Chain A
Amino acid sequence: AQKVTQAQTEISVVEKEDVTLDCVYETRDTTYYLFWYKQPPSGELVFLIRRNSFDEQNEISGRYSWNFQKSTSSFNFTITASQVVDSAVYFCALSEAGAAGNKLTFGGGTRVLVKP
């Protein structure tokens, strides 16, 4: 069965600090997809990134970067030079290629609070 664990429930930082969110997953499939979503205080889910299991390249998008390590089943997310607008709940999610219904399995989420 697929499982996603986000051990950090809440992280508080001061603006301009870097923050890294941990995500560890479990799956028996060899083909799967990993996602990060942002949920700002307004409540909607904002897609940030998708990674497939065959692509272990790290990715950088502006102040965001992602470190995918298959050997440790982790897909960590770093916000560099955090800003107040980064305050949100962040979810890591996993979808197995064989999962019925295209199901996404989410971690419990990490609340990030960026203080000015």
Chain B
Amino acid sequence: DAMVIQNPRYQVTQFGKPVTLSCSQTLNHNVMYWYQQKSSQAPKLLFHYYDKDFNNEADTPDNFQSRRPNTSFCFLDIRSPGLGDAAMYLCATTPIGGDTEAFFGQGTRLTVV
């Protein structure tokens, strides 16, 4: 059974129209990550939650926001998507302390038209 679930798998949004991607996990992991991945490149960390503590990467644009209402769910909000934001978005989880397997969702492929 999938342990990290991302919805939707595919999302098409209009240029400038806010969009929200969701991630849920059944692992009860405290740490959740959001990555952006462009074609054939390594995933790039946008931000992560260490329990309720939000940690933004220095080069993550302000256009990207996140919410974590509880341990199980985490959302990625893109306030005004541009064409350059078209990518695969990956959610991952690890337990606090890390140094163990990171579990990834199947990803959401975002297309901006």
Is B one of A's binding partners? no
Q: Chain B interface (Cβ within 8 Å of chain A)?
A: none
